[in-house]
């Protein structure tokens, strides 16, 4: 398909996809690579990386396998990141599209709701939400989505508003197309690609927010996440900095990979350039 070729032509996209694919595979096979509970004691405490081949990245304060924690933590990051972004994008698209089509009072009302959610910084909103309810995975996902849905909502609405004015929508009306069909066939398929491209950035943000929540001790305490690993490493930052640095690097690579993938998506979905005269 031509669209796929366009994606492959963007080096950032390909690199990003590679990073994410590798991460997804790791996360998928976490239990195969490191069976058992990653939080169990695997060896002596504070073992440095590259010393014991059975514990390639060493152990933490309690003797837990850092690499096992890293790989299992990938699961949490990716699951939370993707799930939160999915909810944010779907919810935002629906509300933004509704506002764009309805216009008038409905549009005004919905946009004020968007304003309300946008005024509070996303992270603080997530923080407040998790603090009030129990810190389980679904709650964390919802909390992050609550802060992230406004971006897609505004973008979807802007796209719908602009596309409604285009000649091809006018042509569809003149030919006698039913408004519902116009919405589903003419407007939405052309309005959503930019929102899709935005979703990659939202995943990146969601992963970071999850890490930050875990770092503060507000994540799900029963699973390993990169944020909680970084938090654990704080106590021994001077004697064993690798405990915080390693998951930190994993975070950075993941976020950059997601972002690059988003760039590739945007390149793939962008409109064709017109011929120069």
Partner 1 sequence: MIDLIRLEDVSVTYAGQSHPAVVDLSLALAPGEKLAIIGESGSGKSTLAHAIAGLLPRGASVKGRIEWPALGRPATPGADFGVVFQDPGASLNPVLRIGEQVAEGAQRHLGMDWRQAERRALELLEAVHIPNPQAVLRAFPHQFSGGQRQRIAIAAAIAARPRLLIADEATSALDTLVQAEIVALLANLVTAEQMALVFITHDIALAARLADRIAVVHRTALVEIGPTRAVIDAPRSDYTKHLLATHIDLSDPPRIGMARP
Partner 2 sequence: MSALLDVRGLRKTYHGGGRSVMALDDVSFSLAAGETLALVGPSGSGKSTLARAITRLIRVDAGQVAFAGTDWLGLSPSGLRRQRRAMQMVFQDPLDAFNPRASVFSAIADPIRIHRLAPRNLWRQNVLNLLDRVQLPAGLIDRAIHEISGGQRQRVALARALACQPKMIVLDEAVSALDVSMRGQILDLLIDLQAREGLSYLFVSHDLAVVNAVAHRVAVMAEGRIVEHGPTHAVLAAPASPMAKSMIAAVPRLNATRTS
Instruction: Decide: 16 and 257 in contact? Cβ < 8 Å.
Output: yes
- 1: Cβ–Cβ under 8 A, 6 or more apart, which residues? none
Contact residue for partner 1 among 1, 54, 132, 277 (CB under 8 A): 277
> Least separation, in Å, of the C-beta of 103 and partner 2?
13
- 226: Cβ–Cβ under 8 A, 6 or more apart, which residues? 70, 73, 74, 76, 77, 211, 214, 247, 248, 250, 251
29 belongs to the binding site for partner 2 (CB under 8 A): no
Question: Which does residue 276 touch among partner 2, partner 1, none (CB within 5 to 8 A, set by kind)?
Answer: partner 1
178 belongs to the binding site for partner 2 (CB under 8 A): yes
Q: Which of the stretches 80-88, 121-129, 155-163, 269-277 binds partner 1 when contact is defined by CB under 8 A?
A: 269-277
234 belongs to the binding site for partner 2 (CB under 8 A): no
Secondary structure of residue 41 in the 3-state scheme: strand
CB of 1 or CB of 277, closer to partner 1: 277
127 belongs to the binding site for partner 2 (CB under 8 A): no
Report in angstroms the alpha-carbon separations of 96 from 105, 149, 150, 179.
14, 10, 9, 17
Instruction: Decide: 71 and 34 in contact? Cβ < 8 Å.
Output: yes
> Least separation, in Å, of the C-beta of 250 and partner 2?
39
How many residues interact with partner 1 (rule CB under 8 A)?
3
Contact residue for partner 1 among 134, 222, 239, 275 (CB under 8 A): 275
User: 3-class secondary structure for 189-258?
Assistant: HHHHHHHHHHHHHHHHHHHHHHHHHHHCCCCCCCCCCHHHHHHHHHCCCCCCCHHHHHHHHHHHHHHHHH
> Least separation, in Å, of the C-beta of 10 and partner 1?
13
User: 3-class secondary structure for 48-108?
Assistant: CCCCECCECCCECCCCEEHHHHHHHHHHHHHHHHHHHHHHHHHHHHHHHHHHHHHCHHHHH
Contact residue for partner 2 among 105, 119, 134, 167 (CB under 8 A): 167
Q: Which of the stretches 18-26, 83-91, 138-146, 180-188 binds partner 2 when contact is defined by CB under 8 A?
A: 180-188
103 belongs to the binding site for partner 2 (CB under 8 A): no
Site for partner 1 in 85-144 (CB under 8 A): none
CB of 5 or CB of 272, closer to partner 2: 272
> Least separation, in Å, of the C-beta of 153 and partner 1?
27
> Least separation, in Å, of the C-beta of 275 and partner 1?
6
- For residue 247, give the nearest of 217, 222, 218, 212 by alpha carbon: 212
Q: Residue 277: is it exposed, middle or buried by C-beta count within 10 angstroms (0-12/13-18/19+)?
A: exposed
CB of 31 or CB of 162, closer to partner 2: 162
170 belongs to the binding site for partner 2 (CB under 8 A): yes
8 belongs to the binding site for partner 2 (CB under 8 A): no
What is the binding site for partner 2 (CB under 8 A)? 166-168, 170-178, 181, 185-186, 189-190, 271-272, 274
What is the binding site for partner 1 (CB under 8 A)? 275-277
């Amino acid at each position: 398909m031509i669209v796929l070729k366009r994606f492959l032509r963007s080096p950032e996209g390909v690199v990003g996809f590679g990073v994410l694919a590798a991460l997804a595979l790791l996360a998928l096979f976490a239990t195969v690579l490191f069976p058992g509970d990653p939080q169990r004691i695997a060896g002596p405490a504070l073992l440095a990386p590259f010393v014991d081949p059975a514990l390639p990245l060493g152990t933490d304060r309690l003797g837990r396998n850092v690499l096992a924690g890293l790989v299992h933590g990938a699961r949490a990051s990716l699951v939370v990141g993707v799930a939160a972004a999915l909810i944010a994008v779907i919810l935002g698209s629906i509300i933004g599209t509704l506002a764009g089509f309805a216009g008038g009072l409905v549009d005004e009302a919905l946009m004020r709701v968007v304003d309300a959610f946008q005024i509070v910084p996303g992270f603080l909103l997530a923080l407040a939400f998790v603090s009030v309810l129990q810190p389980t995975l679904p709650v964390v996902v919802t909390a992050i989505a609550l802060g992230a849905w406004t971006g897609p909502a505004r973008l979807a609405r802007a796209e719908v508003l602009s596309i409604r004015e285009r000649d091809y929508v006018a042509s569809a009306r003149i030919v006698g197309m039913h408004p519902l069909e116009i919405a589903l066939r003419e407007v939405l398929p052309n309005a959503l690609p930019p929102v899709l491209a935005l979703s990659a950035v939202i995943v990146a943000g969601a992963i970071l927010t999850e890490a930050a929540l875990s770092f503060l001790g507000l994540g799900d305490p029963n699973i390993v996440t990169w944020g909680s690993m970084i938090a654990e490493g704080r106590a021994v930052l001077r004697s064993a900095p690798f405990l915080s640095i390693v998951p930190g690097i994993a975070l950075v690579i993941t976020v950059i990979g997601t972002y690059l993938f988003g760039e590739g998506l945007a390149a793939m979905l962008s409109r064709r350039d017109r011929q120069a005269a």
